[in-house]
Amino acid sequence: MDRRDFSQKLSLAAMASILGTEIVFGNQMPSTYLPLGLQDSDPFKLFKKDGEMEVLNNRPWNIEAKAHLLNDKITPNKFMFIRNNGKIPENIDPSTWTLTIDGESVNRKKTYTLSELKTKFPQYTYQLTLECGGNGRSEFNPPAKGNQWTVGAVSCANWTGVRLRDILEDVGIKSNAVYIGYHAADTHLSGDPNKEPISRGVPISKAMQDETLVAFSMNGEDIPIAHGFPLRLVCGGWPASTSGKWITRLSVRDVVHDGAKMGGTSYRVPCETVAPGSKVEDSNMCIIESMPVKSLITYPKSGALLKEGKVLKINGHAWAGELEVSKMEFSIDFGSTWQHCTLEKPTNRLAWQHFDTSVSFPKKGYYEVWARATDSNGKSQPMVLPGWNPKGYLNNACHRIAVKVV
Amino acid sequence: MENTFRDQIKLLSRMLFTFFFLFLILIGGLFYLIDNPETFESSKTDSLQDVTEADDKVENTIDLANGFIDDEGMEATIQNCTGCHSAQLVTQNRMSREGWKATIKWMQETQNLWDLGANEELILTYLSKNYAPTKKGRRQNLENIEWYELE
């Protein structure tokens, strides 16, 4: 961004409101100067992301992968999407970091340091699928408001931490517990210190699952800053917004948690299906829980030119929220016929599953290879957009790649 | 003497021929323009792809310094909308006037956006004109495919 131009367009008052503080001697500030807090940085260096990642938004940072970048069985940091609602916390000191468990339904509030969490409870590692609730939003018609994710807001990394259940049992929770809600160190875009950018959570039943972790490492290393260092709640298979980053407090609630982005149209869909473009009252919106069945062809990259007579090897991943994927198919004739792919079992519950197969084409021409997963309840991915909803969540329509046989 | 006269005739006929040729190109071009009035205007999608580098010039209707389409109301939109979030959060969205209005209302109710006063009309008109939804149907064609030879 050109500094001069940007500065000219921003009044001092506007700059002050962004920085959340008055600019002292602002009237003496050269008009060509842009305060440090406002400067852009290179997100690829800043977050160690691959250069092919797509920046959707730089304030707040929202970056997605592309299908072919997600080919690894375990997603490395460089290909992991970033979704932020607020500003990433600064000056994090893990040695002073604490996690407090409070809320209406705890017997007594309790606070743990990071090292207490690491030493007091057994540690577990699970490979967990985290997909943004709005992944695929860009396809909705009428368009849905928000970051226009295409297919790349999903990851499946190894998360290591302690079970939330073990912590809650140590604290002691009441039988009226309904929900847990997280509170974190990220700050609101408006700079208002009294506002939380996001404070979501999960029902107590999800909180008590073996795989629900309070994690401190990702792929064997400290969690990268953009993904929640030093402590992150990880609820695999649910909208990734339930996996709070930089958490400092978990509230055990006797009601459905009512933090920021729990109400209105946020991470909620019409309880009953509606016609595209309908107005839906808040009271008719239901919180998204498990994510739907979905899959991605991660090899080859869309646009492959294949010599006639050659066999095309394809592979990818499939996942189904709380469920397992039981069947994986592909079609080269726009769904007229479907053929089976080889599908692996998940490494652990809530991890994505890998599929592969060989595709033969009858003659030269333009083809699309469509992939369709079916979950253990028999539900398959739709070929067209699923039910429209005001914020464009849960698009699990079949992924496809273009292939030309030449 | 005779040679000089011949040379002059040759020169004159060459010049006449050249002028006639240029005249043909000009007329031909004008006819082409009448048939293709959009020749010197880039479409919106083209101009969006042109924005590869931040710069302080306005090119193809996109203000390269901020990424917004240059039109009446852009300044007010920048001043009121990019204080908290990037321009990209605006420009990647497509909404009707009603949708943009609802978004502004939501930001005022929950995100500390101030009262826009008289600027609200200006901003709404700017956004609903330049960032209006297009009909996409239930599933679109695969677009912008980069073809490559697979080994």
Q: Residue A225 and residue A39: Cα distance in Å, rounded?
A: 19
Residues 6+ apart with CB under 8 A from A20: A191, A192, A193
Chain B residue with minimum CA distance to A4: B56
Residue span of the structural domain in which A185 resides? 77-287
Q: Peptide bond before A142: cis, by omega within 30 degrees of 0?
A: yes
Q: Which helix (H) or strand (E) holds B89?
A: helix B88-91
According to the model, what pLDDT value does residue B32 have? 63
- Give the pLDDT confidence score for residue B22 in this predicted structure: 79
Alpha carbons A1 and A93: distance in angstroms, whole number: 31
Residues for chain A: how many in total? 406
Average of per-residue pLDDT across A354-381: 98
pLDDT, tens digit, 9 for 90 and up, residues A282-332: 999 999 999 999 999 999 999 999 999 999 999 999 999 999 999 999 999
Quote the tokens at residue A223.
Answer: 């969690």
Inter-chain residue contact A147 with B89, CB threshold 8 Å:
yes
Tokens, residue A217: 């490492």
Averaged pLDDT in 10-residue chunks for chain B of 151 residues: 72 78 72 57 39 47 86 96 94 95 95 96 97 92 96 81
User: In this structure, are A231 and A379 located in the same domain?
Assistant: no
- CATH H-level superfamily of B44-130: Cytochrome c-like domain (1.10.760.10)
Residues A135 and A283 reside in one and the same domain = yes
pLDDT value of position A134: 98
Kindly list the residues from chain B whose CB atom is less than 8 angstroms away from the CB atom of residue A383: 139
The backbone region for A49, taken as left when phi is positive above 0, alpha when psi lies in -120 to 50, beta otherwise, is beta
A257 and A363 both lie in a single domain: no
Residue A390 DSSP SS3: coil
Q: Is residue A60 part of a domain?
A: no
Amino acid at site B142: L
Residue type for position B68: F
pLDDT exceeds 80 at position A79: yes
Which one of A253, A287, A321 terminates a domain?
Answer: A287
pTM: 0.81
Together in a domain, A216 and A335: no
What is the strand order of the sheet A342-343 is part of?
A294-299, A312-319, A353-359, A342-343
pLDDT tens profile A19-73:
444 455 444 444 434 444 434 578 899 999 999 999 999 999 999 999 999 999 9
pLDDT, tens digit (0-9, with 9 covering 90-100), for A352-367: 999 999 999 999 999 9
What residue type is A48 in one-letter code?
Answer: K
Helix, strand, coil % (nearest 5) of chain A?
A: 15, 35, 50
| In-domain check, residue A54 | no
pLDDT digits (tens, 9 = 90+) for A128-184: 999 999 999 999 999 999 999 999 999 999 999 999 999 999 999 999 999 999 999
Same-domain status, A254 and A400? no
Q: Are both A174 and A277 inside the same structural domain?
A: yes
Residue B62, φ and ψ in degrees, nearest 5: -100, 130
Give the start-to-end residue ranges of the domains of chain B.
Answer: 1-40, 44-130
A126 shares its domain with A242: yes
With cut-offs at 50, 70 and 90, classify the pLDDT of residue A11.
very low
pLDDT > 60? residue A10? no
Residues 6+ apart with CB under 8 A from A223: A215, A216, A217, A229, A230, A231, A232
In this structure, the answer to whether residues A162 and A302 fall within a common structural domain is no
Which residues lie across from A328 on neighbouring strands? A373
| Residue A47, in any domain of the structure | no
Closest chain B residue to A390 measured between Cα atoms?
B99
Nearest CA in chain B to A299: B150
Q: What is the pLDDT of residues A238-275, one digit of tens each?
A: 999 999 999 999 999 999 999 999 999 999 999 999 99
Q: Are A216 and A114 in contact (CB under 8 A)?
A: yes
Among positive and negative, which fits the CA dihedral A279, A285, A287, A292?
A: negative
Contacts of A337 (CB under 8 A, 6+ apart): A331
Residue from B100, B104, B147, B151 to probe the interface with A (highest A Cβ count within 10 Å): B147
pLDDT at B33: 62
Q: Which residues contact A211 (CB under 8 A, 6 or more apart)?
A: A126, A128, A236, A348, A349, A350
Let me know whether A243 and A199 are in one domain.
Answer: yes
Nearest to B119 by CA among B70, B73, B68: B73
In the block, tokens 């924005």 appear at: B51
Among A238, A272, A287, identify where a domain stops: A287
Provide the residue type at A268 as one letter: R
Q: Which of A192, A195, A304 sits opposite B150 (nearest CB)?
A: A304
Total count of residues recorded for chain B: 151
Give the orientation angle of helix B119-130 with respect to helix B74-81, to 10 degrees: 110
Among candidates B79, B103, B139 on the partner chain, residue whose Cβ is nearest the Cβ of A14 = B79
A304-306/B148-149 β-pairing: parallel
The domain spanning residue A345 has which CATH number? 2.60.40.650
Confidence at residue B4, expressed as pLDDT on a 0 to 100 scale:
74
Cα atoms in the Cβ-side hemisphere of radius 13 Å centred on A404? 9
Higher-confidence position of A204 and B22? A204
pLDDT, position B35:
59
In this structure, are A149 and A275 located in the same domain? yes
The two three-digit tokens of residue A71, written as one number? 């080919």
Q: Are residues A275 and A302 in the same domain?
A: no
Cβ contact, residue pair B149, A305, below 8 Å: yes
Most B-contacting residue of A4, A8, A17, A59 (CB-CB within 10 A), to test interface: A59
Query: Distance between CA A383 and CA B63 in Å, rounded?
Result: 38
User: Which of B57, B66, B88, B114 is the best residue to mutate to test the A interface, defined by the most A CB atoms within 10 Å of its own CB?
Assistant: B88
Q: Is residue A66 a part of any domain in this protein?
A: no
In sequence order, the 6+-apart residues with CB closer than 8 A to the CB of A45 are none
How many independent structural domains does chain A possess?
A: 3
Domain boundary among A287, A320, A340: A287
A281 and A307 fall within a common domain: no
| Residue A219: CATH number of its domain | 3.90.420.10
pLDDT tens digits along A98-114:
999 999 999 999 999 99
CA–CA min distance A358, chain B (Å):
14
